[in-house]
Amino acid sequence: MLDSSGHLNGAPFLKDENQGLYEPSPQFKNLAKVCEYSSKSNTAVAAAIPYFQEWREAAHQIKKYSLANLDKLLVQFESNMKARGVEVLFAQDAAEANRLVLEIARQHNVKSVVKAKSMVTEEMELNHVLEEAGIRAIETDLGEYIVQLAKQRPIHLVTPAMHFSADEVGQLFHEKLGEPYSAEHAALTAIARKRLRAEYLAADMGVSGCNFAVADSGTVVVVENEGNAGLSTSTPPVHVVLVGIEKIIPKIDYLPLFLNLLGRSGTGQKLTTYTHLIHGPAPGKKLYVIFLDNGRTKVLQDPHAWESLFCIRCGACLNACPVYRRVGGWSYGWVYPGPIGSVLTPHLVGLEKAGKLPFASSLCGACGEVCPVKIDLPHQLVHLRHRAVNEPSPMNSAFERLQWKLWAWAMCGPRRYGLAMWAVRIGVRMAKFLPWHPDKLGAWTRGRELPKVPTHSFRSWWQERSSQKGKS
């Protein structure tokens, strides 16, 4: 998943998928069990709400409205926030967002950063960029802290170190931090708490994501369970929020609905332990909000695809997906794993790089059933498959596309069809005189014999039969 310089390198799914399917890494041995357990607890808390389906539908409609009115809502959010002294910036792509973060860091003479969990910063590879600029960045979410120490990438949207056992975390803390080995959960948490507390106090800047950006009140909403996001956003003198433009919702009145859905679908909780509503900077501190597009407005223009921007990153579709359970998050090759990754990644990094991902699904439909904002993930995948075979992508070649175009042309008229069948009959008869064996055509022909060509085609037989009937 990472190239030699530590960058994410697209989505080489099929290779990794095969490794996952046939030679599962021992590291992933518990993944299916943990996903199944999470999926069951998500379903159980949802089933306890008799109107859960109505909630899903309401959230779907609000997201639809939000994205249809994105321009107005972003302006409303910006003016509400600016009125309270917040600087709101917009970045077209990851490079621009990184440049803005570095400018802010230079302006405030930042040497160290504490980061709360944020998928957008993964998209930007912000840790890498900060490191290159000589700025120390520490992840403070426990799972993110573990994967950062292990020099890995998050394996899941919500539980980034899902694949680590307590024993492995104990070993890691011993090797990397010099702490005495322990596999006790309480002891491991205490080590992380002690280490991270010192980081919060020393940091010059805090960086966080944003679960919801509320337009009418101008509020950044950050939800979490560990308290680390609260400390990362409030302790350092500067706080930078990085948020995808699709995270906007119109009204604060709608927030409880989304909080109820996110907690239940994400971690099987009625509500996450902490919900931070940030309206402006604390006295004497600075707050910046950077909205990132990075391909989202392009997705917005596609009527078949824009629904994928409704995602609230709960991770429920990952837990429910039989393919994800088997291969884990890294096989998806970019930031977003599982069914939503198979949909979002081709849109955001391009079909030519990630065109294999929509095929990383059995289309069983489980992802669509659990999604709290009712994204029709199976149909999104089918739509992308259609594009992947019609546009330049790793799933086809120019020659293959030409073949299918000819096939479509031939099938659209009886005369063309007759002509094509005549050509095929000649071609199959001539094949035996070829100097090379049809094996060379690929795996499909290796296991199959060329059929014998009958002396009469069905069409000629039918015509003869019809004319004989006419005579009689």
Q: Point out which span in 135-143, 221-229, 277-285, 366-374 binds ligand SF4 (CB under 6 A).
A: 366-374
Closer to ligand SF4 by Cβ: residue 86 or 249: 249
Which residues within the stretch 292-321 sit at the binding site for ligand SF4 (CB under 6 A)? 311-317
Q: What is the DSSP letter of 449?
A: P
Which residues within the stretch 242-281 sit at the binding site for ligand SF4 (CB under 6 A)? 265
Token pair 């909000």 in the structure block, residue? 289
Closer to ligand SF4 by Cβ: residue 66 or 265: 265
Site string (333-352) toward ligand SF4, x via CB under 6 A: -------x------------
Give the nearest distance from C-beta 66 to ligand SF4 in angstroms. Answer: 14
φ, ψ dihedrals at 213, nearest 5°: -110, 110
Closer to ligand SF4 by Cβ: residue 59 or 287: 59
Query: How many chain residues touch ligand SF4 (CB under 6 A)?
Result: 15
Question: Do residues 2 and 122 lie in contact, with contact meaning Cβ atoms separated by under 8 Å?
Answer: no
Give the nearest distance from C-beta 372 to ligand SF4 in angstroms. Answer: 6
* Host H or E run for residue 259: helix 255-267
Give the nearest distance from C-beta 368 to ligand SF4 in angstroms. Answer: 9
Question: Do residues 316 and 266 lie in contact, with contact meaning Cβ atoms separated by under 8 Å?
Answer: yes
Q: Which of 375, 381, 384, 388 binds ligand SF4 (CB under 6 A)?
A: 375
Q: According to the binding rule CB under 6 A, does residue 115 interact with ligand SF4?
A: no
With 0-12 / 13-18 / 19 or more C-beta atoms within 10 angstroms meaning exposed / middle / buried, residue 373 is: buried
φ, ψ dihedrals at 207, nearest 5°: -125, 135
Closer to ligand SF4 by Cβ: residue 162 or 371: 371
Which residues within the stretch 387-446 sit at the binding site for ligand SF4 (CB under 6 A)? none
Q: Point out which span in 15-23, 82-90, 240-248, 365-373 binds ligand SF4 (CB under 6 A).
A: 365-373
Token pair 């909080």 in the structure block, residue? 259
Q: According to the binding rule CB under 6 A, does residue 372 interact with ligand SF4?
A: yes
Give the nearest distance from C-beta 315 to ligand SF4 in angstroms. Answer: 5
Question: Do residues 10 and 349 lie in contact, with contact meaning Cβ atoms separated by under 8 Å?
Answer: yes
Question: Do residues 380 and 343 lie in contact, with contact meaning Cβ atoms separated by under 8 Å?
Answer: yes
Query: Closest by alpha carbon to 306, among 361, 383, 238?
Result: 383
Which residues within the stretch 149-178 sit at the binding site for ligand SF4 (CB under 6 A)? 157
Q: According to the binding rule CB under 6 A, does residue 383 interact with ligand SF4?
A: no
Question: Do residues 30 and 156 lie in contact, with contact meaning Cβ atoms separated by under 8 Å?
Answer: no
Closer to ligand SF4 by Cβ: residue 355 or 372: 372
Give the nearest distance from C-beta 126 to ligand SF4 in angstroms. Answer: 21
Ordered strands of the 87-91 beta sheet: 87-91, 286-292, 238-244, 205-208, 112-115, 136-139
Closer to ligand SF4 by Cβ: residue 313 or 383: 313
What long-range pairs does 43-52 form, CB within 8 A, spacing at least 24? 43/370, 44/268, 45/264, 45/268, 45/269, 45/270, 46/264, 46/265, 49/264, 52/264
Q: According to the binding rule CB under 6 A, does residue 373 interact with ligand SF4?
A: yes
- Site for ligand SF4, rule CB under 6 A: 157, 265, 311-317, 340, 370-373, 375
